[in-house]
């Protein structure tokens, strides 16, 4: 590895910025990365697993080609053949053309949904390679503007929407008043900074900003379950867009902030709000980025609600949700997070008519909004184009309501609903459960 690094440093054709990207690849070159970089046989059978390729039919969106965008660079600087006879093995210089193509496809033509990884004929973790390519680009400050701005806002303000603390607290206060009226209990509360609470609950900043009713729904569920829980006034953001930008250092910083806050509250369990990439980043990637194990348990709200139902801590009356409901599986929560059956268990108890869309579970298709696409205005047209697949899936179910436990997916599905004139309602899991709650 060091040999390659010295060669890169001496290579006068490379700019300092290009060397930074190559150095990062060198640093990240673990056994796992090396394995996946060396395994593609260019069989081209992966196309049908990618929503971009399915929609456009353009070869540049083939998952195998995405693998090649990074593996050809690896071959050029890390293999003997690639250094001596690059043309033979398709090794390419890390020049401006290669970088521009990487930005366009790696950021703008992939949601990192990981569907291709699961179906790869060899078993290559393609999403992992795409994330590594993003890390190289992030190291070179080449993250698309909108996505970088979301990351910067989270770092600067503590939440990705830059919500001022006073606005956030105001919102929670009126939501608390609403909750008291709703459950007819003046003692019902949305606790803030309550030390020693069993549960530390997080929020997607879109909730206080645009969807406060999903906070109400979660609060009502906690109330019904007689849960000891709290929100933090200081740090509550469940998202970590550094996962999407590719910046592990910032990813670790955001992870540490949340960890410190949970420790300050002395909570037993960190409950991750309805989000796809957030739970993935916090639960699975954060400990790896920080190289620290959490001293508390980490679960998602979906798993917690399923547990409440299973242990009779909440009672639901499915007759309160008579419309036909379908479920959209968020990729990061399901395929890369293992929360697969819990949401189905919940819906079977919360609605009378639940219908699956196909394919589903680990084979689901991304809604098109993953991978940070919702933050990248540059690729908005593509995002809505590829969502046609999801629109068709929803339409085929004939459902009235689409439920998804992810605010990112909610945003995208609301746009899809409008653009493709689906005429459905889009709800979070907590909202549909709150609608069915029997408060005793």
Give 312's contacts (C-beta < 8 A, 6+ positions apart). Answer: none
Kind and range of the H or E run holding 133: helix 126-139
Query: Cα dist. 318→324, 391, 404 in Å?
Result: 11, 26, 17
Closer to another protein by CB, 45 or 414: give it. 45
Q: How far apart are CA 73 and CA 30, in angstroms?
A: 16
Residue 298, token pair as written in the block: 């980490």
Closer to another protein by CB, 210 or 296: give it. 296
Convert 381-409 to b/e letters by CB count within 10 Å (16 or more is b): ebbbbbbbbbbebbeebebebbbbbbbbb
Closer to another protein by CB, 248 or 415: give it. 248
Whether the Cβ atoms of residue 305 and residue 429 lie closer than 8 Å to each other: yes
Closer to another protein by CB, 86 or 377: give it. 86
Question: Which residues here bind another protein, judged by CB under 8 A?
Answer: 29-32, 34-36, 38-49, 59, 62, 64-65, 68, 81, 87-90, 117-125, 128, 283-288, 291-294, 297-298, 334-338, 340-341, 361-362
Closer to another protein by CB, 285 or 415: give it. 285
* Closest distance to another protein from the beta carbon of 37 (Å): 9
Whether the Cβ atoms of residue 416 and residue 384 lie closer than 8 Å to each other: yes
Query: 326 has which bridge partners?
Result: 355, 402
- Strands in 199-201's sheet, in edge-to-edge order, are 229-230, 199-201, 269-272, 297-300
* Closest distance to another protein from the beta carbon of 115 (Å): 9
* Closest distance to another protein from the beta carbon of 77 (Å): 15
Q: Is 354 left (phi over 0), alpha (psi -120 to 50) or beta?
A: beta
Convert 196-231 to b/e letters by CB count within 10 Å (16 or more is b): ebebbbbbbbbbbbebbbbbbbbbbbbbbbebebbb
Q: How far apart are CA 15 and CA 91, in angstroms?
A: 19
* Closest distance to another protein from the beta carbon of 68 (Å): 7
* Closest distance to another protein from the beta carbon of 365 (Å): 11
* Closest distance to another protein from the beta carbon of 124 (Å): 6
* Closest distance to another protein from the beta carbon of 252 (Å): 12
Closer to another protein by CB, 38 or 173: give it. 38
| Strand bridging mode 269-272 / 199-201 | parallel
Closer to another protein by CB, 303 or 415: give it. 303
Residue 365, token pair as written in the block: 């298709």
Closer to another protein by CB, 55 or 425: give it. 55
* Closest distance to another protein from the beta carbon of 291 (Å): 7
* Closest distance to another protein from the beta carbon of 298 (Å): 7
Closer to another protein by CB, 107 or 289: give it. 289
Q: How far apart are CA 435 and CA 278, in angstroms?
A: 25
Alpha-helix runs per DSSP H in 203-247: 206-209, 212-224, 242-245
Closer to another protein by CB, 34 or 213: give it. 34
Look at the block and give the residue holding tokens 């639960």: 283
Closer to another protein by CB, 206 or 259: give it. 259
* Closest distance to another protein from the beta carbon of 285 (Å): 8
Q: How far apart are CA 101 and CA 97, in angstroms?
A: 6
Look at the block and give the residue holding tokens 């790869």: 120
* Closest distance to another protein from the beta carbon of 105 (Å): 13
């Amino acid at each position: 590895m060091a040999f390659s690094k010295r060669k890169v440093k001496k290579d006068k054709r490379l700019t300092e910025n290009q060397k930074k990207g190559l150095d990062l690849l060198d640093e990240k070159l673990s056994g796992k990365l090396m394995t996946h970089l060396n395994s593609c046989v260019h069989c081209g059978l992966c196309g049908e697993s990618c929503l971009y390729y399915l929609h456009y039919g353009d070869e540049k969106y083939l998952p195998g080609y995405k693998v090649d965008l990074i593996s050809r660079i690896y071959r050029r600087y890390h293999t003997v053949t690639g250094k001596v006879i690059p043309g033979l093995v398709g090794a390419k210089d890390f020049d401006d053309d290669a970088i521009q193509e990487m930005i366009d496809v790696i950021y703008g033509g992939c949601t990192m949904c990981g569907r291709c990884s699961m179906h790869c004929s060899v078993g290559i973790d393609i999403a992992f390679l795409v994330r590594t390519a993003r890390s190289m680009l992030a190291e070179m400050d080449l993250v698309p503007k909108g996505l970088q701005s979301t990351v910067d806002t989270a770092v600067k303000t503590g939440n990705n929407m830059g919500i001022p603390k006073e606005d956030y607290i105001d919102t929670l206060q009126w939501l608390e008043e609403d909750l008291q009226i709703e459950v007819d209990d003046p003692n019902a509360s949305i606790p803030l900074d309550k030390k020693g609470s069993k549960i530390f609950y997080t929020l997607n900043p879109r909730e206080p900003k645009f969807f406060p009713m999903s906070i109400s729904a979660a609060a009502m569920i906690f109330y019904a379950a007689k849960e000891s829980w709290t929100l933090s006034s200081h740090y509550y953001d469940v998202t970590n867009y550094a996962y999407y930008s590719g910046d592990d250092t910032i990813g670790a910083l955001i992870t540490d902030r949340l960890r410190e806050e949970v420790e300050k509250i002395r909570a037993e369990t960190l409950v991750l709000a309805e989000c796809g990439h957030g739970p993935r980043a916090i639960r699975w990637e954060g400990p790896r980025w920080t190289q620290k194990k959490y001293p508390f348990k980490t679960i998602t709200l979906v798993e917690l609600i399923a547990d409440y139902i299973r242990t009779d801590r909440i009672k639901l009356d499915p007759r309160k949700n008579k419309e036909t409901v379908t479920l959209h599986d968020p990729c990061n929560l399901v395929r890369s997070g293992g929360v697969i059956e819990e949401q189905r268990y919940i819906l079977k108890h919360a609605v009378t008519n639940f219908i699956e869309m196909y394919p589903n579970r680990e084979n689901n298709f991304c809604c098109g909004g993953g991978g940070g696409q919702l933050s990248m205005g540059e690729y908005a047209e593509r995002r809505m184009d590829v969502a046609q697949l999801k629109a068709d899936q929803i339409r085929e179910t004939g459902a009235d309501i689409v439920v998804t436990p992810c605010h990112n997916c909610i945003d995208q599905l609301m746009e899809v609903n409008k653009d493709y004139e689906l005429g459905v309602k889009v709800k979070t899991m907590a909202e549909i459960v709150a609608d069915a709650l029997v408060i005793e």
